[in-house]
Amino acid sequence: MNKISFLGCGSWGGALGLVLANKGVHVTMWHRNPDVVQTLTDSRNHYLVPGLIFPDSVLFTSSMDAAVLGASIVIIAVPSQSIRELLQSNKYLFINDQTIVNVSKGIEIDTLMTVSEVIVDVLGDSFTKVVTLSGPSHAEEVIQGHPTTLVSASANSEAAKDIQSLFSNEVLRTYANADIKGVELGGSMKNVIAIAAGICDGIGYGDNTKAALLTRGMTEISRLGTAMGAELKTFQGLSAIGDLIVTCLSQHSRNRRVGQAIGEGKSLDHILSEMKMVAEGVQSAKSVHQLRQKYKVNMPICEAVYQILFEGKDPKQSVTDLMTRELRLED
């Protein structure tokens, strides 16, 4: 089978790499740190996720040349805000016949591009096989073989179907979707709502609050997404409401844990300094703030998260302000 390479070997990239390796795929995994590569090569144990053990067939490298050259599919699994720099520095290695798959969930700050838009912006319009793989999925449960569903989204239907087939087995079911913008926006914005959910947990609120938050948060995600040209039905599916549910409720969720720590009174700088992995929702809160202003969309929950994270607003006061806004019809 053709070579498939991962750029990034964090928890999610590692879990997906294991899925493919277990199907007999020739997997190469790139990490920028040669010491991490050597540890992975020697021990076969993932450095972040206990229980993630790679078979001997997986090749680890810190060389971008070794990862990208000769690969039919390149899967980008680094934090969304670092993807432009990574591609820009190595764009000469890519060829437009390759399928480029994004598995990160974020919106680039200032440009306000989704990751697939960043990929095309850097590599060029001739790269037509660009896919985003998203959905309600934690690496820890994929590794354990728990039944999981994903969405393979692309404007190129054949590329979407190819990735759909690649990432499907007896415990992993992937659906195809043509609305790549909607899939990416849902996967990115739900992380902001997950921070809000964690804040509620940290303060000590219960199920009533969480139910209201998820429902009204999904309304905000749909408002902005449709204003940006995405399809409403996408936000009713796995990549939006499905991902929202798992991220807001799960103990595995980094974004929810960030919010919980804030609700407990810790500072954002302190929380981030103690994290080994990236919580994409922190940066996405900035992007959503900018998008809300650009498209003039009412998003009070997302705006409250932004104010708490970056303007120092008290979380309890934010909740009071949300609850005492002018009364209105439900939409």
Residue in this structure with the two tokens 């974004």, named with its chain if needed: 255
Taking the mean position of all CA atoms in its chain, how far away is CA 6? 15
Cβ-based neighbours of 311, under 8 Å, separated by 6 or more: none
Q: Please tell me the distance from the alpha carbon of residue 192 to that of residue 310, in angstroms, as a whole number.
A: 13
172 SS3 class: strand
**DSSP bridge partners of 7:** 30, 76
207 C-beta neighbours (distance < 10 Å), count? 7
Give me the active site residues, please. 190
Three-point CA angle 64, 65, 66, nearest 5°: 90
Token match 């879990």: residue? Answer: 15
Pair 26, 85: CB distance under 8 Å: no
Q: Residue 329, class by beta-carbon neighbours within 10 Å (0-12 exposed, 13-18 middle, 19+ buried)? A: exposed
Whether the CB-CB separation of 204 and 169 falls below 8 Å is answered with no
Widest distance between CA atoms in the chain: 61
